[in-house]
Homo-oligomer: A and B are copies of this chain.
Protein backbone atom coordinates (compact mmCIF):
# COMPACT_ATOMS: atom_id res chain seq x y z
CA UNK A 1 0.00 0.00 0.00
CA UNK A 2 1.36 3.38 -0.95
CA UNK A 3 0.83 6.54 1.03
CA UNK A 4 2.05 9.01 -1.56
CA UNK A 5 -1.48 10.37 -1.87
CA UNK A 6 -1.17 11.76 1.67
CA UNK A 7 1.11 14.54 0.48
CA UNK A 8 -0.27 15.37 -2.97
CA UNK A 9 1.75 18.56 -3.23
CA UNK A 10 4.96 16.64 -3.56
CA UNK A 11 5.52 15.24 -7.00
CA UNK A 12 8.80 13.50 -7.57
CA UNK A 13 9.92 12.23 -10.94
CA UNK A 14 13.11 10.86 -9.48
CA UNK A 15 15.42 11.36 -6.52
CA UNK A 16 16.56 14.71 -7.92
CA UNK A 17 13.23 16.00 -9.20
CA UNK A 18 11.63 17.22 -6.01
CA UNK A 19 8.86 19.79 -5.88
CA UNK A 20 8.53 20.42 -2.16
CA UNK A 21 5.39 21.72 -0.55
CA UNK A 22 7.10 24.91 0.53
CA UNK A 23 9.98 27.24 -0.17
CA UNK A 24 13.08 27.23 2.04
CA UNK A 25 12.21 28.57 5.49
CA UNK A 26 14.57 31.47 4.89
CA UNK A 27 12.94 32.61 1.62
CA UNK A 28 9.72 34.23 2.81
CA UNK A 29 7.18 33.79 5.65
CA UNK A 30 5.19 30.60 5.22
CA UNK A 31 1.49 30.85 4.51
CA UNK A 32 -0.87 29.11 6.94
CA UNK A 33 -1.43 26.31 4.40
CA UNK A 34 2.28 25.71 3.79
CA UNK A 35 2.92 25.70 7.52
CA UNK A 36 0.23 23.06 8.07
CA UNK A 37 1.75 20.73 5.48
CA UNK A 38 5.35 21.16 6.58
CA UNK A 39 4.57 21.03 10.30
CA UNK A 40 2.95 17.63 9.81
CA UNK A 41 6.21 16.24 8.43
CA UNK A 42 8.38 17.81 11.14
CA UNK A 43 6.00 16.65 13.85
CA UNK A 44 6.26 13.07 12.61
CA UNK A 45 10.03 13.21 13.23
CA UNK A 46 9.60 15.07 16.52
CA UNK A 47 9.48 11.92 18.63
CA UNK A 48 12.65 10.00 19.62
CA UNK A 49 11.16 6.54 19.02
CA UNK A 50 9.78 7.52 15.62
CA UNK A 51 13.10 9.04 14.68
CA UNK A 52 14.93 5.83 15.64
CA UNK A 53 12.48 3.71 13.65
CA UNK A 54 12.74 6.07 10.70
CA UNK A 55 16.55 6.03 10.70
CA UNK A 56 16.47 2.23 11.08
CA UNK A 57 14.39 1.96 7.89
CA UNK A 58 16.28 4.70 6.07
CA UNK A 59 19.69 3.16 6.77
CA UNK A 60 18.70 -0.46 6.13
CA UNK A 61 19.95 -2.24 3.02
CA UNK A 62 18.25 -0.90 -0.11
CA UNK A 63 16.33 1.65 1.98
CA UNK A 64 13.79 -0.97 2.91
CA UNK A 65 13.20 -2.89 6.13
CA UNK A 66 10.90 -5.56 7.42
CA UNK A 67 9.21 -4.67 10.69
CA UNK A 68 11.14 -7.66 12.10
CA UNK A 69 14.41 -5.81 11.35
CA UNK A 70 13.63 -2.57 13.15
CA UNK A 71 11.83 -3.38 16.38
CA UNK A 72 14.90 -3.05 18.58
CA UNK A 73 14.08 0.36 20.02
CA UNK A 74 13.02 -0.62 23.52
CA UNK A 75 9.26 -0.30 23.12
CA UNK A 76 6.49 -2.86 22.67
CA UNK A 77 5.44 -4.18 19.28
CA UNK A 78 2.07 -2.33 19.38
CA UNK A 79 3.95 0.90 20.09
CA UNK A 80 6.28 0.22 17.15
CA UNK A 81 3.23 -0.33 14.93
CA UNK A 82 1.63 2.87 16.18
CA UNK A 83 4.71 4.93 15.36
CA UNK A 84 5.17 3.32 11.94
CA UNK A 85 1.55 4.22 11.19
CA UNK A 86 2.22 7.86 12.13
CA UNK A 87 5.25 7.95 9.85
CA UNK A 88 3.14 6.55 7.01
CA UNK A 89 0.37 9.08 7.64
CA UNK A 90 2.92 11.88 7.36
CA UNK A 91 4.04 10.49 4.01
CA UNK A 92 7.55 9.70 5.26
CA UNK A 93 7.26 5.94 4.87
CA UNK A 94 5.39 3.65 2.55
CA UNK A 95 4.66 0.01 3.30
CA UNK A 96 3.95 -3.18 1.42
CA UNK A 97 2.94 -6.60 2.68
CA UNK A 98 4.91 -9.45 1.13
CA UNK A 99 4.07 -12.87 2.54
CA UNK A 100 4.21 -12.86 6.32
CA UNK A 101 5.85 -9.48 6.76
CA UNK A 102 5.19 -5.83 6.12
CA UNK A 103 8.12 -3.99 4.52
CA UNK A 104 8.70 -0.28 5.02
CA UNK A 105 10.47 2.10 2.66
CA UNK A 106 11.53 5.70 3.03
CA UNK A 107 9.88 8.11 0.63
CA UNK A 108 13.03 9.85 -0.69
CA UNK A 109 11.14 12.75 -2.28
CA UNK A 110 9.66 13.73 1.10
CA UNK A 111 13.04 13.54 2.81
CA UNK A 112 14.54 15.69 0.05
CA UNK A 113 11.69 18.19 0.31
CA UNK A 114 12.23 18.54 4.05
CA UNK A 115 15.95 18.98 3.51
CA UNK A 116 15.21 21.72 0.99
CA UNK A 117 13.02 23.56 3.51
CA UNK A 118 16.04 23.81 5.76
CA UNK A 119 18.49 25.14 3.21
CA UNK A 120 19.89 28.54 4.03
CA UNK A 121 18.66 31.24 1.71
CA UNK A 122 20.27 34.62 1.03
CA UNK A 123 18.83 36.16 4.21
CA UNK A 124 20.70 33.82 6.54
CA UNK A 125 23.84 33.24 4.49
Contacts and interface: CB of A to CB of B under 8 A. Distances in A.
A39 to B, nearest CB: 4
Size bracket, chain A contacts? 35 or more
B58 A48 contact: no
A26 B61 CA distance: 10
A27 B48 CA distance: 17
16 contacts: A25-B59, A26-B63, A26-B106, A26-B111, A27-B59, A28-B59, A29-B59, A30-B51, A30-B52, A38-B45, A42-B51, A43-B47, A45-B46, A58-B121, A59-B123, A114-B118
Given A26-B106, A108-B125, 15 more contacts: A15-B120, A15-B125, A25-B51, A28-B59, A30-B51, A30-B56, A35-B52, A36-B48, A42-B43, A45-B46, A59-B121, A106-B124, A111-B118, A115-B115, A115-B120
Interface of A: 15, 25-30, 32, 35-36, 38-40, 42-52, 54-56, 58-63, 70, 73-74, 106, 108, 111-112, 114-115, 118-121, 123-125
